[in-house]
Every structure is written in structure tokens, then in C-alpha cells.
Amino acid sequence: DQQVKQNSPSLSVQEGRISILNCDYTNSMFDYFLWYKKYPAEGPTFLISISSIKDKNEDGRFTVFLNKSAKHLSLHIVPSQPGDSAVYFCAASQGGSEKLVFGKGTKLTVNP
């Protein structure tokens, strides 16, 4: 039973446009959410996070939105750049737990 779901295995966008990656979760006890980015043959790297007490967090070109009632979060990248091409993982935790529960990832391709 997947607690964190990324239903789109892949997404392709043009350079300069907005990329929107989506994530749904089923466990209402999750209170902290993170996005990780992974290039081939490398480990995931932290991108941005959001606490459940907020509904938006922004860091440069990256913004994460959280809709608790829908148990949905999204990552917006604008403008998208070819270097953003990677696999993006959504992850969640609860109660300050050290365990992160990851989704399956979405492969983003940004075309020049």
C-alpha cells in the first residue's frame, strides 16, 4: 500500500516554461514533505521542503504547494531549464520521524 504516490512516471516540458510535478499521500499523519532530485548514477539531493503548517514554500525557481484537505502537494519549477532534467522524488515524514516515505518518482525532461 503506497502511502506516497507520484502518478506521472514522466513529464516533458519546453525550456522556459513551467514544470508542475504532483504528489498525493494517504497518511494524514504526515506533517513534513520534501522533494528530492536525482541525476543518473548519483544519490538523491534535497531540493525543497514544506511543513504541514504552511501551504506554500518558495526557493528561487522552485515552489512547493501543499493542500492538506486534498492530501496533495505539487512542485513548480519556473522557468524550467535543461539542467532541471532529472527524476524528482516526493517524500513525507511524520512527527519528526527519521523515516522518509518516498514516492516512485517522476522523470522530468526539459527540452531546449
Partner 1 sequence: GAGVSQSPRYKVAKRGQDVALRCDPISGHVSLFWYQQALGQGPEFLTYFQNEAQLDKSGLPSDRFFAERPEGSVSTLKIQRTQQEDSAVYLCASSLRHRSGANEKLFFGSGTQLSVL
For the chain, the C-alpha Rg in angstroms (whole number) is 13
Q: Would you count residue 32 as binding partner 1 (CB under 8 A)?
A: yes
Q: Would you count residue 4 as binding partner 1 (CB under 8 A)?
A: yes
Task: Give the H or E element holding residue 87.
Answer: strand 86-93
Q: Would you count residue 96 as binding partner 1 (CB under 8 A)?
A: yes
Q: What are the distances in angstroms from CA 85 to CA 15, 66, 96?
A: 10, 23, 30
- Give the residue among 53, 15, 62, 10 at the shortest CA–CA distance from 35: 62
Q: Would you count residue 21 as binding partner 1 (CB under 8 A)?
A: no
Residue closer to partner 1 (CB basis): 14 or 103? 103
Residue closer to partner 1 (CB basis): 8 or 79? 8
| Interacting residues with partner 1 (CB under 8 A) | 4, 6, 32, 36, 41-46, 49, 51, 89, 91, 93, 96-105
